[in-house]
Homo-oligomer: A and B are copies of this chain.
Amino acid sequence: MNRVGFLLKVKKEYLKEYKAHHEAVWEDMKSALHRQGWYNYSIFMKDDGFIFGYFETTGTFAEALSRMERERINSEWQELMAPFFEIPGGSMPDTMMIELEEVFHLE
């Protein structure tokens, strides 16, 4: 398994809404993530809207994102999320995630 870390930034005025949506992620979206190889997936938030994502997958981050594109439910989820993020006009959040370099790991 590879470990992936990525960053995103939620607009401050949408922090509560973002959290509420993530307390109630659609079951179909969760199934799609599993089907496409996203495991042990956590999202952490700083109070200024910085978001850190962590998950484990068999391939690369790019592959995991590209596999999710096969899932119709993912487009719906990304459209729902799009207004919450600080991203240039109209892009979907899953194209704006900054991948981080893993510099240490201990099992």
Identical chains bound together, number: 2
Bound complex: CA A50 to CA B3 (Å): 18
Pairwise interchain contact A45-B105, C-beta atoms closer than 8 A: no
Pairwise interchain contact B46-A7, C-beta atoms closer than 8 A: yes
Q: Which of B30, B44, B54 contacts A101 (CB 8 A)?
A: B44
**Most chain B CB neighbours (cut-off 10 Å) among A3, A51, A52, A101:** A52
Interface of chain A: mostly helix, strand, loop or mixed? strand
Interface residues of A in 11-53 (CB under 8 A from B): 18-19, 22-23, 25, 30, 33-34, 38-47, 50-52
Chain A residues in the interface with B (C-beta under 8 A): 3, 5, 7, 18-19, 22-23, 25, 30, 33-34, 38-47, 50-52, 54-55, 98, 100-107
